Amino acid sequence: MKDLSRRNFIRATSLLAASSTPSLYAADANDTKSAKPAPSPKPTKGPTQVSWLEGGRIQPLAGSAFGVPWPMGQQAADTTFTLRTPQGKKVPMQTWTTATWPDGSLKWTGHAISPDSPAAEHFRIAPGKPTIPRNPVSVEEAAEAIFVDTSIIRCEIPRQGETLIKSVKRGDTTILSKGHLCGTRQDSPDPGTPVEAFTSQIETVEVEQSGPVRAVIKIDGTHKTEGQRKWLPFSIRLYFHAGSDGIRMTHTFV
């Protein structure tokens, strides 16, 4: 067998991918002989079982989200889903599409359940009318801020300024205020080196999901100094679940 160096192997596989990939999707619009009609979505044969990776009976204390893959043609794009325990009890669930097949059918779906979902080793998901939580999460958009209410806490998110979360209230009590990002920069760890302070500056705020089980707010911005120097753009997502007093946050430098 002819010896292949790592460089030659990568070059060969790259050429193969470049030459073969277009044939998977591309077809001449005028070539009616080779064109084939897209298969119609077929109904699923039964419920799909989903289980916790950790195993055992787990209670999603702060809410949970998961994804489910589907074979091509099995679920139509407008399919709604219901979730049940092994005993048949309905569980409130929110669904959204993350990917589709070339025929338009569902390829991947995302799902969220609330923290008051029953503890179970696994659940069964199938096409059907989803169950709404007893106290759904709600999102209210105003000119200067976005308000998220989980029925346990109410959060105010400004649309501009340096504050990411203006306040979080539990009933009439404010439990958090003026939440923002902060950081420092210096050229050397040596004592006496000047330190430059940065704080967050919001540019855009977007509602990505608005319930009924989960709400997601995306905040894009950058860091700035008192002299208005901008540095390190970021994207933050805040996740809220119905009936939960927790806020999950993901932070990404872009």
Specify whether 120 is located in the same domain as 155.
no
Q: Is residue 91 part of a domain?
A: yes
Of the candidates 50, 134, 124, the one whose C-alpha atom is nearest the C-alpha of residue 81 is 124
On whether the CB atoms of residues 7 and 1 are closer than 8 A, the answer is no
3-state SS assignment for residue 12: helix
Segments of the chain scoring below 70 in pLDDT: 1-45, 58, 60
Specify the pTM: 0.78
Question: What residues contact 190, with CB distance under 8 A and at least 6 apart?
Answer: none
pLDDT at 226: 81
- Please count the other Cβ atoms lying within 10 Å of the Cβ belonging to residue 121: 13
Query: What is the rounded distance in angstroms from the CA atom of residue 67 to the CA atom of residue 56?
Result: 19
Residue that is last in its domain, among 97, 127, 157: 127
Q: Is residue 39 part of a domain?
A: no
What residue numbers bound the domain in which 110 lies? 48-127
pLDDT at 45: 56
Specify whether 169 is located in the same domain as 232.
yes
On whether the CB atoms of residues 184 and 197 are closer than 8 A, the answer is yes
On whether the CB atoms of residues 242 and 138 are closer than 8 A, the answer is no
Specify whether 168 is located in the same domain as 242.
yes
